[in-house]
Amino acid sequence: DTAKEKPQEGEVLAVGPGRIDDNGNRVPLDVKVGDKVIYSKYGGTEVKYSGEEYLILSARDVLAVIEK
pLDDT at 43: 86
In this predicted structure, the answer to whether residue 1 has a pLDDT above a threshold of 50 is no
Residue 48 CB neighbours (<10 A) = 8
pLDDT at 67: 80
pLDDT at 3: 58
Three-state secondary structure along 4-42? Answer: CCCCEEEECCCCCCCEECCCCCEECCCCCCCCEEEECCC
Residue 41 CB neighbours (<10 A) = 14
Is the pTM of the predicted complex or chain greater than 0.85?
Answer: no
In this predicted structure, the answer to whether residue 16 has a pLDDT above a threshold of 50 is yes
8-66 to CATH, choices 3.40.309.10, 2.70.70.10, 2.30.33.40, 3.10.450.50: 2.30.33.40
pLDDT digits (tens, 9 = 90+) for 23-50: 999 999 999 999 999 999 888 999 999 9
